[in-house]
Amino acid sequence: MIKKFRISYNKIITYIILLILSAVILMPVIFMICGSLMGKSEILNSFGNLITDNKSVNGKFHIIPEQVTLIGYADVFLLDPSYLIKFWISIFIAVTIVLAQVIISCVSAYGLAKFKFPFKNAIFYLVVILMMLPVQVTLVPNYILFDKMGLIGSYLSVILPGIFGTFGVFLLTQVFSAIPNDMIEAAKIDGANHFQILVRIIIPCSKTGIASLIILCFIDSWNMIEQPLAFLKDYLKYPLSIFLSRINDTKLDIAFVCGVLAIIPVFILFLFFKDALIKGVEYSNMK
């Protein structure tokens, strides 16, 4: 009985700690959703000092809206569509990068995982090194290259570096390596070429790893800030992430609504592919 009581007591302590950590992690999201349901004056009165450093604002801090209003959503969806346009620009950039990177990563990873050629390991280690480089390191070389190509100000200058990201090659190489070679040899005996093997065997057997790549690549592309700031010169072409990084005290209500919009695609992806994401992270730790 004492042992059972200790186990129950330890579980209770564990659950309490997890609840506290969950509350801390979810607080910014709750803060944002509640803020999107407030009017501009109530936002400033409630926590204007916390966000804007405006010492002249003397209000009572509270998170739950005293008066629920959807005027911020009306502004974003009806009165000023420029913010909704930024949302769809972000969707366009992220989806384009994800689709192209998945295709290139599948082809490259298939070669690294199932072919034997000189300097194969050296190429793979080079992929790992490039994967570890922060994006800030490549901004200047990319800017010079795109400037020579006349792509500065075009969405291609933002999309191309994302398409040729090396993380997808690294992840899928690990995933494809776990597929038995006997399956490939059997397909070759049946007359299948490499394209058919990749499409009909490798990819169907690697749905979990590919799904995790889609989620991670989408999140990275969705939240990019440095690349659009460096390569896009027209404010009207900026994605939603740029607006969220430039919040000021005159558009706090709009910022909260756009913040809610920003988490919806990521939340939907995680909701449907959370198991694939976990298994994909496990694959990335193989070997």
Q: Can you read off the two tokens belonging to residue 281? A: 């992270």
Nearest residue to 153 (alpha-carbon basis) of 242, 239, 238, 233: 233
The span from the CA of 157 to the CA of 199, in Å, is 30
Predicted confidence at residue 58, as pLDDT, reads: 53
219-239 confidence digits (pLDDT tens): 889 988 888 888 988 888 888
Q: Can you read off the two tokens belonging to residue 285? A: 């730790």
The span from the CA of 160 to the CA of 169, in Å, is 15
How many CB atoms are located within 10 Å of the residue 180 CB?
9
Predicted confidence at residue 287, as pLDDT, reads: 44
> Which residue shows structure tokens 């919009």?
261
Residue 229, amino acid: L
- Cα first-last separation, the chain: 44
Predicted confidence at residue 66, as pLDDT, reads: 77
Nearest residue to 28 (alpha-carbon basis) of 57, 54, 63, 56: 63
Per-residue 3-state assignment (H helix, E strand, C coil) for 215-253:
HHHHHHHHCCCHHHHHHCCCHHHCCHHHHHCCCCCCCHH
Predicted confidence at residue 56, as pLDDT, reads: 47
What residues contact 255, with CB distance under 8 A and at least 6 apart?
243, 244, 247
How many CB atoms are located within 10 Å of the residue 265 CB?
17
**Max alpha carbon distance in the chain (Å)?**
78
CATH numbers and ranges of domains, the chain: 2-69 (no CATH), 80-284 (1.10.3720.10)
**Mean pLDDT per 10-residue interval, the chain, length 287 residues:** 57 86 85 81 68 53 76 79 85 94 93 88 88 85 89 90 89 88 86 88 87 88 88 85 70 80 85 72 55
Q: Can you read off the two tokens belonging to residue 264? A: 């919806």
Are the CB atoms for 170 and 284 separated by under 8 Å? Answer: yes
What residues contact 91, with CB distance under 8 A and at least 6 apart?
265
Predicted confidence at residue 247, as pLDDT, reads: 63
Nearest residue to 179 (alpha-carbon basis) of 216, 207, 213, 217: 207
The span from the CA of 206 to the CA of 194, in Å, is 16
The span from the CA of 170 to the CA of 176, in Å, is 10
Predicted confidence at residue 99, as pLDDT, reads: 94
